[in-house]
Amino acid sequence: MKRLSLALFAIPSVLFAGSAPAFAQVGPIEAAGETVNQLIVFGDDPCPASAGNEIVVCARKAESERYRIPEALRESSSPANEAWSNRVEAYETVGAFGTMSCSPSGYGGWTGCTSQLIDAAYKEKHGSSDIRFSQLIEEARAKRLESVDADAAAEQARVEQIEKEYEARLKAERDGPLPGEQPAAPATPQGGQ
C-alpha cells in the first residue's frame, strides 16, 4: 500500500516538473550582429555612450520618478475605479453566447476568447503610458545610419581622389622616357637665332 501511495505521489510531481516555465534571460538584446542596451535614466544622469556594434537607448524620466513605484503598478484594477462607459459596455455583452462569444455556453462559445484577448492586449498597448523602447531603438538606428552614410560618402570621395592621383602618375610614367633613354630636348623656335 505504501508503494502505491508513493507512486501516485511521484507521478504528478514528474508531470508538473516538465511543465515548469523557462525563465527569460535578462540582459541586452542581440539582433543582426548588434547589441541593444535599454536603460532608464533619471533627471540629468548621463546616458552611456555606445561603442562598436552596441546601441545604447536611454529613456529619460523625471528625477522625482527615481524611487517611486513604476506607473504601471500604481493603479488599482478594483471595480470602484472602473469607468462608467466600461460598465455599460459590460452590460451589453451579458446575454452574449454562442459562436465568437467566449462563453462556456452555446455551440462554439470558445471561439471568441482569442479575439477578446488580442483586443484587450492592443487596448492595453495603445493606452499604456509606459516607455516605447522599440521606437527609441529605431530612432537610434536611424541616427547611426545617418552617420554611416556620411562616413561612407567621405570615404568614397577620398578613394576617388586617390584613384585620380594614381591614374595621373601612371599617365606620367607612360608618357615619360624609358629607362636608359635621354629625355627629349625641348623644341627650339625656328627662324632666328
pLDDT tens, position by position, 66-105:
888 887 777 777 777 778 887 777 776 666 666 777 777 6
- Residue 66's nearest CA partner among 97, 43, 34 is 43
CA-to-CA distance for 160 and 168, rounded, in angstroms?
12
Predicted pLDDT at 99: 72
Is residue 67 in a domain? no
Total domains present in the chain = 1
Is residue 185 in a domain? no
Higher pLDDT, 95 or 144: 144
pLDDT band at 119 (very low <50, low <70, confident <90, very high): confident
Higher pLDDT, 185 or 44: 44
Predicted pLDDT at 71: 78
pLDDT band at 161 (very low <50, low <70, confident <90, very high): very high
Q: What is the C-alpha R_g of the chain?
A: 36
Is residue 112 in a domain? yes
Is residue 108 in a domain? yes
Residue 27 amino acid letter: G
Among 37-46, 106-115, 160-169, the minimum mean pLDDT is found in 106-115
Residue 22 amino acid letter: A
Residue 100: left if φ>0, alpha if ψ -120 to 50, beta else—which one?
Answer: left
- Residue 74's nearest CA partner among 120, 133, 129, 131 is 129
Is residue 51 in a domain? no
CA-to-CA distance for 57 and 37, rounded, in angstroms?
6
Higher pLDDT, 186 or 89: 89
The answer to whether the beta carbons of residues 28 and 50 sit under 8 Å apart is no
Is residue 148 in a domain? no
Give residue 106's domain range.
96-129
Percent of the chain with pLDDT over 70: 70
Is residue 178 in a domain? no
Predicted pLDDT at 1: 45
pLDDT band at 165 (very low <50, low <70, confident <90, very high): very high
Positive/negative CA dihedral, 79, 80, 81, 87: positive
pLDDT band at 32 (very low <50, low <70, confident <90, very high): low
Q: What is the mean pLDDT of the chain?
A: 74
Is residue 100 in a domain? yes
Predicted pLDDT at 63: 92
Percent of the chain with pLDDT over 90: 13
Among 2-6, 69-73, 135-139, 176-180, the minimum mean pLDDT is found in 2-6
Predicted pLDDT at 11: 40
